[in-house]
Structure 1
Amino acid sequence: MVYTATALEDWISQRYIKSRIQSASDISIERIAMIHNIFINFREMPARYDIHGRYKAIVLDARCSPEEQREQFFHELCHILRHVGHQTMMPAAFRELQEWDARHFTMYATMPYFMLVDYDFENPYLIHDLAFDFDVTEQLCQKRIEHIQRNIMTNSFMVAERNHYFF
């Protein structure tokens, strides 16, 4: 069973390791916001980010659960760190690409693979345990586990195909 991290996962993991973020308890939105000089605000409105010169802020929806706010934070953080332009003024395809990137960034940043390797993926309570440990929704945990399983299955298939081809 081999898992191959994506370039985005590697990018996030390297930033975490450089910042000494090594366990689920280290993934604090306050700590990460401080590292990137980002202010966090809670308002009764949909989550968003603001950049004005050197000022950067993320607004989190105060009506949502802490787990949902955490996911909102990482989604908006992706836009700040990786994207340029205003989505309202860009072609739909480019906006969709940025949203796809932000969804994957959220998955990888909230539950980096290097922090998941010690979990028992056969544990029937895995989703619940991950949601608790990483302080995210069970829905996000389910997506992350499915992503990991697809990655491993694809790699296993590719190895089997390569072995069949060469022998």
Structure 2
Amino acid sequence: MRPLMPEGRFFYTETEHMFPLGGKDMLQGYQPTAADIWLRDLYSEHHIHLGMHLNFHLIASIWGIQVIYNAVPAFSFWASGLRIISLDNRTAPERQRADFYHELGHIALHDGRQHGLHPLMVQLQEWQARRFQLVAAMPYALLPPLARTWMEYALLLAEIFAVPLDVAIRRVEMIRSRQIYEGRDYRGI
């Protein structure tokens, strides 16, 4: 059975934004997305509390997904209760991991196939899957304390979560874009 993301969750309770931070760091002021909160709860329910516990084969089993490896670019397929993520066996394990979470985003957020969709809808679905990839592969609740610089932090995330550096950099950019400082909300800029 596929875990369902709550629909229509745009507002948070006063405590939902309070993830344990472990001291003063630059993550202070981060405003989690609905996906951050949902994945925090899902991972916690399955006793995933550290980055090293985040194994994509475990995540696949939680979702009832079969992972296969082929010499073709990554894709996902789901129909009639069957869920498959095919990963490119020619790519590095870090890229396979990133691709897994991207394809999981399609299964979690979308129904049906992209074939025949308007190109703008395909772009939207790809954008949504790329964003989901970041929060699922490097969930906020499992992030380590911040390093001295954002680039050092991206390198640390790439190492801890075994993802390519470009994916870790995108997660850092996402974190920075969701911060609020001293009552000023810069997320929409």
Regarding TM over 0.5, the answer is yes
From 170, 173, 184, the equivalent of 1:146 is 173
| Structure number with bigger Rg | 1
Which residue does the alignment assign to 2:100? 73
Cα offsets for 1:32-61 (capped at 9, x unmatched): 111111111111101011223122111000
- Cα distance, 1:69 vs. partner? 0.3
Fraction of identical pairs, as percent: 31
Aligned equivalents of 1:73, 1:2: Cα separation in 2: 29
- Cα distance, 1:160 vs. partner? 4.3
- Name the amino acid aligned to 1:73: F
Equivalences for residues 68-107 of structure 1 within 5 A: 68-107=95-134
Aligned equivalents of 1:78, 1:160: Cα separation in 2: 31
Cα distance change of structure 1 residues 83 and 120 upon mapping to structure 2, 3 Å threshold: same
Which residue does the alignment assign to 1:122? 148
Which residue does the alignment assign to 2:48? 21
Which residue does the alignment assign to 2:181? 156
Is 1:10 the equivalent of 2:37? Answer: yes
Is 1:110 the equivalent of 2:137? Answer: yes
Aligned equivalents of 1:69, 1:93: Cα separation in 2: 26
- Cα distance, 1:130 vs. partner? 1.6
- Cα distance, 1:125 vs. partner? 3.2
Aligned equivalents of 1:160, 1:68: Cα separation in 2: 36
- Name the amino acid aligned to 1:91: H
Aligned equivalents of 1:18, 1:95: Cα separation in 2: 32
SS at match of 1:120: coil
SS at match of 2:47: coil
Aligned equivalents of 1:42, 1:11: Cα separation in 2: 28
Structure 2 stretches of 5 or more lacking a match? 1-27
Aligned equivalents of 1:94, 1:34: Cα separation in 2: 29
- Name the amino acid aligned to 1:94: M
- Name the amino acid aligned to 1:88: H
Deviates more, 1:9-18 or 1:132-141: 9-18
Larger helix percent: 1
Cα offsets for 1:88-134 (capped at 9, x unmatched): 12222222221111001100011111111x42232563222221110
Structure 1 stretches of 5 or more lacking a match? 162-167
